[in-house]
Amino acid sequence: MARIIGGITTSHVPAIGGAIAKGLQNDPYWKPFFDGFIPIRHWLSETRPDVVVVLYNDHGLNFFLDKMPTFAVGAAPQYTNADEGWGIPTVPPFTGDTELSWHLIESLVADEFDLTTCQEMTVDHAFTLPMALLWPDQAWPVKVVPVCINTVQAPLPSAKRCHRLGEAIGRAVSRWAGDEKVLVLGTGGLSHQLDGERAGFINKDFDLKFMDSMVSDPTWATQFDTYQLVEQAGTQGVELLMWLATRGALGPSVRALHSNYHIPISNTASGLMLLEPV
């Protein structure tokens, strides 16, 4: 039986890719951010996951405003990265786990989630940069299953719906006949707003309360509707939906093995957590 061994939640700011390309990991501006991943990499070397289910939001590389699915799951044998215009070097392709992908798709549909199924799929910085932070050599010792959640164009799925999606992913993995060790990786956030009158908005108090709730009260953020989340976390801060889905997949109780919070990186509050089911 496959099992989820842990969940990692982290930011995916495009500037991270530029910092990696320029070798700025020890620059005073970036060092508090990059140092947060050292314990994560030690844990990965000890636990050695086989598959990563990546919960992320697409920024126009694979989907655009004319076609924006609420939830999309990749079922491709390989996922490639392309130039998004940020000047970030592309990374090597990722190997998909097609059998687990189809099991996940069929299980989610049976749980009454309406999905877009992608047998061809490109992945952007929200997918590639967190993976590069976990495995800096970019040799990718894992297979991947991409799960894309719309945080770009209204109407967005609710926080409650995304948490339930995570729960359904957890059930699907537990029913998979293989013996894979599965890591769930949720990317995005935390509070930030890149445009409008509140450009540069960061809400540290909300972020820290949200991070605490991931352990102590995992449905805390589901009390907020989309507009309230934008008010609390900023227009792009709704990316915390991927954190909620990740948390839902881990089951009722977790312990935090590591966390880091640093502001700002590129006008964004950067959060990082490593959670283990108990």
Supply the residues annotated as catalytic.
125, 192
Tell me the backbone φ, ψ of residue 227, rounded to 5 degrees: -65, -40
Instruction: Report residue 96 as tokens.
Output: 């998909």
Q: How far is CA 30 from the centre of its chain?
A: 20
Q: How far apart are CA 97 and CA 89, in angstroms?
A: 25
Contact 190, 233 (CB under 8 A): yes
Contact 149, 55 (CB under 8 A): yes
**Identity of the amino acid at 217:** D
Tell me the backbone φ, ψ of residue 66, rounded to 5 degrees: -80, -20
Q: How far apart are CA 183 and CA 145, in angstroms?
A: 10
Count of H-run helices and E-run strands, the chain: 9, 11
